[in-house]
Amino acid sequence: MSTSYEGEDNLVNVFETSFADAYARYMAWASAVGDAAPFTGTTIQASAKILPNILGNESGTTVSIIVIISMVSLTAIGGYFFLKHRKEN
């Protein structure tokens, strides 16, 4: 956001005064993800560190299991609707 801003006013001041509620939520989120300087343009990198903690520390094992379970579920749901439609005809 700070790299694409072309105004003359300080972006942090504009954001804080014009959008006080959004500013407070953004600062709380930045603090929660450990971003000490949320207006420097590195916020996405800070938030990307959360994903490995959610999925676990294994090297892709959890992700693989989630993908496999999702594919099996989608296939089962698709098969159910296919067979239901076929039974009606």
Give me the domain span that covers residue 83: 56-89
Report CA torsion sign: 5, 51, 69, 60: positive
Q: Check whether residue 44 and residue 62 sit in a common domain.
A: no
Q: Check whether residue 41 and residue 60 sit in a common domain.
A: no
For residue 14, give the amino acid letter. Answer: V
Report CA torsion sign: 15, 18, 24, 29: negative
Q: Check whether residue 41 and residue 8 sit in a common domain.
A: yes
Q: Check whether residue 87 and residue 71 sit in a common domain.
A: yes
Q: How would residue 43 be classed by pLDDT, with cut points 50, 70 and 90?
A: low
Question: Per residue in 4-21, pLDDT tens?
Answer: 556 667 777 877 888 888
Distance CA 7, CA 19 (A): 16
Question: Is 76 a residue whose pLDDT tops 90?
Answer: yes
Which has the higher per-residue pLDDT, 21 or 42?
A: 21
Q: Check whether residue 32 and residue 60 sit in a common domain.
A: no
Q: Check whether residue 3 and residue 28 sit in a common domain.
A: yes
**Count of helices and strands (H, E) across the chain:** 5, 0
Q: How many domains does the chain have?
A: 2
For residue 57, give the amino acid letter. Answer: N
pTM over 0.75: no
